[in-house]
A and B are shown apart, each in its own frame.
Chain A
């Protein structure tokens, strides 16, 4: 008789090699870039010795002012876009989950989340056409507006997930105890929502920081964000400083995603459950 253990996917022939192959394909390019960013050589393929030369080059080299300006744009846009998107997403989640049933609720839900499904290139083209149709000069402001818009669904998901986990009874208790609806929202719902809101903000921040396609379409001439600056530099041939800057961006991204995850976990653990514990 076959034991249950042998039915486990892990015991299928070729499971281990296949897994290793997938992991290799996923991470080998990243690892190569990370390792070679510490290369002392001028070539991107020939290994010399370990050094921080190209990191120094990123901050103090010839192209440093360009990258610095791009980084400042990226970070300032990411902060503002993520903040605005988080506020809008929080309000949207409140309306979706706390306003009872209303006409067009599922339509609204689709409307909020559709941008996740639309191919980014379509959004990019459409946004560009929209801006030129209303006569906006492309530049910093158009990037910011576009980023706010496409960040909303990313901020919305963790916020709505969190709010769904908080039962409406807390706000009812607050109202029963003489709180106005606004006080119930501010004093009860918002603090309970905090982990979801922070998680949504971090996700929106990283999505904005990493975006290339839409930014490239709506940025106009003379302004760069980090991804477009890197792309521009690569067009003239890959120099090792690109590997250093990519590694830096990777570390920041991974850091934020991890933070977003742990904040979410933290919220999950402190999840307010209304189910009383047994004695």
Chain B
């Protein structure tokens, strides 16, 4: 994907208060030009508030929002060159598809003939050319979602904001639309800021992801970075599934740390910035762990139960020293699955584990 280092949106120390409640606590983010940027977090974390702040629907209590060099923090929503795809789509029910998509163009002062040409282009982009004369009530959820996208794209915004646009679609459709959204982002070169609570959505679509929790940015990075090198316990736990082992950290140097595992084995593995000696957490992804013969692994435990997931099988193991670990195995006939109650050893490559800050 082509990209330069121009900053599309520079969010500087933005704070948003609702009375005594702080929705955003000094959020700072650089969103690059032509980037598919995702705001990811659990519900109530402030990600939608941040999007609405950029769109202009919420006034900020403090900070600045610089859009291509211009501070837009004090502009009305209609004065900001950004458009939004709303979660509920909210197509104007008294207008047909063409009129809906044309709305923004006419407000910008385009004449009807030019606007109509542009509407044709964007409807083609979202593959709805045949539905130009339909009313919103005659469209399915997926089609409505595309009209909402076309309507927001038509005025060629500098930045497109998407507020959980896929959450109302069923699983199959959601997966198809994900790919389409990525393609459209590529074709148009518009910067996308995408809000979601669905980590799979975030991982598959984004150039970069900002993980948000309690109104604060926890980590910004590519999908691989936040999955492989989470900064803290929250990110490790929220992105994907992870096992957190209680360990005692003995030594830290240059991004590496030594720790003693439950059961006494000492390993050296990567450590997150800010990790300190003493008791800590070691994050190990379920797919990085293998079940080995007794006496060969790093920790020991008994199989508590199996969870069947179709392509995968999760094996939950209770450690001898307390705590439990989930091991992800492929559901293949070649792999021997330990029985419930069996004593097993677990092994993993220390390089793929990570010492975390709480």
Show the binding face of A for B, using Cβ within 8 Å.
Answer: 167, 169-170, 172-180, 183, 187-188, 191-192, 270, 272, 274-279
Contacts and interface: CB of A to CB of B under 8 A. Distances in A.
Interface of B: 55-57, 76-78, 82-84, 86, 88-90, 92-94, 103-104, 107-108, 137, 139-142, 144-145, 151-152, 155, 168-170, 173
Nearest to A272: B93
B155 A178 contact: yes
Contacts of A172: 57, 77, 86, 90
Nearest to B88: A274
B141 A170 contact: no
B78 A276 contact: no
Contacts of B107: 177-179, 183
A276 B89 contact: yes
A274 B152 CA distance: 17
A192 B94 CA distance: 7
Given A177-B107, A270-B93, 16 more contacts: A167-B90, A173-B84, A173-B86, A173-B92, A174-B92, A176-B55, A176-B78, A176-B84, A177-B104, A177-B152, A178-B78, A187-B103, A188-B92, A272-B93, A277-B141, A279-B140
B90 A170 contact: yes
16 contacts: A167-B90, A169-B90, A172-B90, A173-B92, A175-B76, A176-B55, A176-B78, A176-B82, A177-B83, A178-B107, A270-B93, A270-B137, A276-B89, A278-B170, A279-B170, A279-B173
| Candidate in A167, A178, A270, A274 with the most chain B CB atoms within 10 angstroms | A178
Contacts of B152: 176-177
Contact of B155 (A177, A274, A275): A177
Given A174-B103, A178-B78, A276 B145 contact: yes
A277 B94 contact: no
Contacts of A187: 103
A179 B77 CA distance: 9
Instruction: Kindly list the 3 A-B residue pairs having the minimum CB-CB distance in the complex, ordered from nearest.
Output: A177-B104, A272-B93, A178-B107
Nearest to B57: A172
B290 to A, nearest CB: 41
Nearest to B151: A177
A279 B142 contact: yes
Contact of B78 (A180, A192, A278): A180
